[in-house]
Amino acid sequence: MNIKQWFSTYFTNHAETSEAHWNEALRTHYFKTTKDKAFPQLEDYYNNSSKYKLVSSSIEHGEMSLQTVKGKKAFIVVSIVMVQPYRTAVDYSVTTESALPFDFGHSHKLIQRQHEEIKGILPFLETGMAHKM
C-alpha cells in the first residue's frame, strides 16, 4: 500500500467496491446465481439482521439501501447486477456518518465484512471478472 492508498483508506468516510480496485478485498464480488434469486435472499438477510436496517429496495433497479443499527452509523447501498447467466455482481457503496471528514478505515472494513457475510448466503465465484468477459 503506497501513501496515496493509505490516505484514501484511512482519511475518508466513504468507500466503494469496483472491478479493478487496488485493494483486492474491495473488488466487485461475483456469485453463481441470478439477480432474481440473489436479490430476495439478500433482502431477507438484511430484513432479519440485527446489524442492519433495510431502508429501501428496488429489484427493478437491482439496489437496496441499508443503515447500520449497531456501532458507528453508516449508510450502505448494495447493487446487484446479473452480468451473464449465473454470473451476478454485488457491489457496495458505504458512507460512514462522522463528525470528522474521515472514519479511519471503518467504511472499508464494513465492505469487507459484508463480503464475508454474503459469501455464506450466495455461492461465491471470484472477484474482478470483467477481464474475462
Kindly state the cell numbers that stand for 124.
461465491
The answer on pLDDT for 28 being more than 60 is yes
pLDDT digits (tens, 9 = 90+) for 52-61: 999 999 999 9
Residue 6 lies in a domain: no
pLDDT digits (tens, 9 = 90+) for 43-78: 999 999 999 999 999 999 999 999 999 888 999 999
| CATH number reported for the structural domain that contains residue 49 in this entry | 3.30.310.80
Q: Give the pTM.
A: 0.89
Q: Which of 80, 71, 11, 91 is nearest to 39 (CA)?
A: 80
The DSSP output letter for 28 is P
Q: Give the burial class of 81: count Cβ atoms within 10 A of its Cβ; 0-12 exposed, 13-18 middle, 19 or more buried.
A: middle
Q: Which domain holds residue 119?
A: 13-127
What is the number of structural domains in the chain?
A: 1
The DSSP output letter for 133 is -
Q: Which amino acid is at 64?
A: M
